């Protein structure tokens, strides 16, 4: 129809031009790919490309929205750059990518958007792992608080019942008891108790001479296992107290640090009269209960914030995600590609120095390190990549990274004397490209002492293990 291949010129095709649309219709009507060059002014290679495009369109009609199909038609043969997503039947990814593409999108830019999508998913996976860990911690804290709440309610109820005994005593006796006695919950068996219950104990130290006398008379008894003084006979305890205070010359009952220090010079005498374990009668348990409830509400709020963050992250497009995670706010596709190239060089540079290395590692403060590594001595180095001065100027968080490394370097893809001067004053290292490797420009590097070193090293190991096991 159009002569032999040598006799004719092939038409340029876009997937949207008249010839392309006619060929797509022919394919739909059953024409074989090999027959297309004989019927249309296109090469066999062009025919194959249009055939692939046709099949992708058909798949899109079955699995994607009408809006996504329209986007593919606007892109024409540019959409062949999405072939990896079609092969993986990644309909969610295709929907996400197509939503941000248009007919003016360059074909060479599409792989960068796919890369951004993978970056988003990787980052989302890391965040999800961290959220899972945080949620588990929150759940444990919530269980503890619920247990505390239950025990506090139980204690309030028990104290309300048991404290009825206070009504029978004179005001002065009652005040002394409230100040010095308390309850503690016993959960194991001993000679003093046989079941789980709240027992009356000394919550505050008393005069040591009187204490020895009470012990001798069997009114109180010390439990060395729980470090507690138990009140064995409250009525006799009160009798002894009244005897001491109603004398013509009253005997001491209260703890007096100076007196006790002189009395027991061979021993270390605590300044504080309060015992650590018991809950005193004077403790405001209702306030404790209110505090517990407030802490529970705070935990629930934290949980909601975490889930909200995840939802927001999932909604972000690959491009907006790049902006959100601070790879860049306004990085061009070229800069994104360049950022990745420099990251790879930084990884190889650290590896050449005998470091175990990884990229995009979440630090204990929740921030993400571009490149990080540690050697056999546990020495940690972080490298931050900046592809433009504006990218560098926007970054206000990098100083928070210093807590998690022993040395910190910038790898810059631009030259600026003021920036270099600033980095010299900050005591950071500076790396520059040198053929296939990197060179250290600033050698006067301030050393830091990495905190949470083991956690950072663990995070690197976990990320590398995940990549080895799952491939990402």
Picking from 201, 217, 211, the residue whose alpha carbon sits closest to that of residue 259 is 211
**pLDDT of the residue at 460:** 92
- The gap from C-alpha 75 to its chain's centroid, in whole angstroms, comes to 39
Contact 380, 453 (CB under 8 A): yes
- For residue range 194-249, what is the model confidence (pLDDT) as tens digits? 445 667 888 889 999 999 999 999 999 998 877 889 999 988 999 999 999 999 99
Q: Which CATH architecture has domain 326-470?
A: 3-Layer(aba) Sandwich (3.40)
Three-class SS string for 35-69? Answer: HHHHHCCCCHHHHHHHHHHHHHHHHHHHHCCHHHH
- The gap from C-alpha 143 to its chain's centroid, in whole angstroms, comes to 20
Question: 10 Å Cβ neighbour count for 149?
Answer: 16
Beta bridge partners of 371: 359, 383
Does residue 75 or residue 270 have the better pLDDT?
Answer: 75
Q: How far is CA 89 from CA 83, 166, 402, 405, in A?
A: 10, 76, 42, 41
Task: Tell whether the model's pLDDT for residue 190 goes beyond 90.
Answer: no
**pLDDT of the residue at 333:** 53
Span of 67-71, 278-282, 445-449 with lowest mean pLDDT: 278-282
- Spatial separation of the C-alpha atoms in residues 281 and 201, rounded to whole Å: 10
Contact 372, 456 (CB under 8 A): yes
255 backbone dihedrals φ, ψ, rounded to 5°: -75, 130
Contact 247, 218 (CB under 8 A): no
**pLDDT of the residue at 322:** 42
Q: How far is CA 230 from CA 155, 220, 222, 247, in A?
A: 17, 5, 6, 26
Average pLDDT over residues 13-37: 92
Does residue 112 or residue 148 have the better pLDDT?
Answer: 112
- Spatial separation of the C-alpha atoms in residues 361 and 123, rounded to whole Å: 9
Average pLDDT over residues 92-107: 86
- Spatial separation of the C-alpha atoms in residues 283 and 274, rounded to whole Å: 12
Task: Tell whether the model's pLDDT for residue 7 goes beyond 70.
Answer: no
Considering 92-106, 133-147, 433-447, the range whose residues carry the highest mean pLDDT is 92-106
- 336 CB-contact burial (10 Å; exposed 0-12 / middle 13-18 / buried 19+): buried
- Spatial separation of the C-alpha atoms in residues 271 and 267, rounded to whole Å: 12
Task: Tell whether the model's pLDDT for residue 352 goes beyond 50.
Answer: yes
**pLDDT of the residue at 148:** 72
Token code pair at residue 105: 């999108």
Percent of the chain predicted with pLDDT > 90:
33
- Spatial separation of the C-alpha atoms in residues 206 and 211, rounded to whole Å: 7
**Is 9 strand, coil or helix?**
coil
**Given the structure tokens 């009269």, which residue do they identify?**
273
Task: Tell whether the model's pLDDT for residue 21 goes beyond 90.
Answer: yes
Task: Tell whether the model's pLDDT for residue 4 goes beyond 50.
Answer: no
Span of 16-25, 159-168, 223-232 with lowest mean pLDDT: 159-168
**pLDDT of the residue at 279:** 57
- For residue range 55-68, what is the model confidence (pLDDT) as tens digits? 999 999 999 999 99
Span of 99-113, 138-152, 179-193, 324-338 with lowest mean pLDDT: 324-338
**pLDDT of the residue at 372:** 95
How does the average pLDDT of the chain come out, rounded? 80
**pLDDT of the residue at 162:** 58
The CA-to-CA distance between both ends of the chain, in Å, stands at 51
Residue 48's pLDDT band, with cuts at 50, 70 and 90, is very high
Residue 30's pLDDT band, with cuts at 50, 70 and 90, is very high
Does residue 243 or residue 289 have the better pLDDT?
Answer: 243
Q: State the span(s) of the chain assigned CATH 3.40.1350.10.
A: 326-470
Residue 328's pLDDT band, with cuts at 50, 70 and 90, is very low
Average pLDDT over residues 352-379: 89
Task: Tell whether the model's pLDDT for residue 138 goes beyond 80.
Answer: no
Q: How far is CA 84 from CA 70, 89, 90, 118, 269, in A?
A: 20, 9, 9, 12, 75
All residues at 6 or more sequence positions from 204 whose CB lies less than 8 Å from its CB, including other chains:
179, 180, 182, 255, 273, 274, 275, 280
Q: How far is CA 471 from CA 10, 461, 463, 464, 468, in A?
A: 43, 14, 11, 10, 6
Would the pTM count as exceeding 0.75? no
Picking from 430, 331, 432, the residue whose alpha carbon sits closest to that of residue 390 is 331
Average pLDDT over residues 410-434: 86
**pLDDT of the residue at 462:** 86
**pLDDT of the residue at 392:** 84
**pLDDT of the residue at 349:** 92
- The gap from C-alpha 124 to its chain's centroid, in whole angstroms, comes to 11
All residues at 6 or more sequence positions from 260 whose CB lies less than 8 Å from its CB, including other chains:
208, 269
Average pLDDT over residues 291-315: 71
């Amino acid at each position: 129809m159009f002569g032999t291949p040598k006799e004719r010129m092939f038409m340029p095709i876009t997937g949207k031009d008249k010839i392309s649309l006619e060929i797509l219709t022919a394919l739909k009507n059953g024409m074989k790919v090999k027959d297309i060059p004989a019927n249309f002014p296109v090469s066999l290679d062009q025919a194959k490309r249009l055939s692939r495009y046709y099949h992708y369109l058909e798949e899109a009609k079955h699995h994607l929205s009408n809006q996504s199909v329209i986007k593919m038609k606007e892109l024409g043969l540019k959409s062949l750059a999405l072939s990896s997503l079609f092969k993986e039947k990644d309909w969610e990814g295709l929907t996400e990518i197509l939503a941000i593409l248009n007919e003016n999108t360059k074909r060479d830019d599409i792989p960068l958007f796919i890369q951004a999508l993978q970056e988003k998913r990787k980052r989302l996976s890391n965040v999800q792992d961290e959220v899972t860990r945080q949620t588990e911690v929150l759940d444990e804290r919530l269980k503890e608080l619920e247990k505390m709440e239950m025990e506090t309610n139980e204690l309030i109820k028990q104290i309300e019942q048991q404290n009825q005994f206070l009504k029978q005593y004179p005001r002065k006796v009652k005040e002394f008891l409230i100040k010095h006695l308390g309850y503690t919950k016993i959960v194991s068996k001993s000679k003093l108790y046989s079941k789980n219950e709240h027992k009356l104990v000394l919550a505050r130290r008393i005069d040591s001479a009187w204490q020895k006398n009470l012990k001798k008379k069997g009114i109180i008894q010390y439990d060395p296992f729980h470090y507690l003084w138990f009140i064995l006979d409250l009525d006799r305890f009160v009798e002894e107290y009244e005897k001491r205070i109603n004398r013509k010359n009253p005997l001491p009952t209260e703890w007096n640090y100076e007196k006790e220090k002189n009395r027991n010079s061979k021993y270390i005498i605590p300044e504080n009269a309060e015992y650590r374990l018991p809950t005193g009668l004077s403790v405001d348990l209702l306030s404790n209960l209110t505090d517990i409830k407030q802490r529970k509400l705070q935990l629930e709020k934290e949980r909601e914030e975490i889930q909200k963050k995840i939802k927001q992250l999932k909604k972000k497009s690959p491009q907006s995600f790049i902006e959100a995670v601070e790879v860049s706010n306004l990085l061009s596709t070229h800069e994104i590609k360049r950022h990745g190239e420099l990251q790879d060089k930084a990884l190889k540079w650290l590896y050449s120095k005998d470091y175990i290395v990884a990229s995009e590692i979440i630090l204990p403060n929740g921030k993400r390190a571009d490149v990080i590594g540690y050697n056999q001595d546990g020495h940690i180095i972080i490298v931050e990549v900046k592809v433009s001065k504006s990218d560098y100027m926007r970054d206000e968080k990098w100083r928070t990274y210093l807590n998690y490394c022993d040395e910190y370097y910038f790898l810059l893809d631009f030259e600026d004397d003021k920036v270099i001067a600033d980095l010299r004053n900050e005591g950071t290292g500076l790396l520059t490209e040198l053929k296939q490797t990197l060179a250290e420009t600033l050698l006067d590097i301030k050393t830091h002492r990495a905190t949470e070193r083991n956690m950072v090293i663990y995070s690197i190991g976990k990320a590398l293990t995940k990549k080895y096991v799952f491939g990402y």
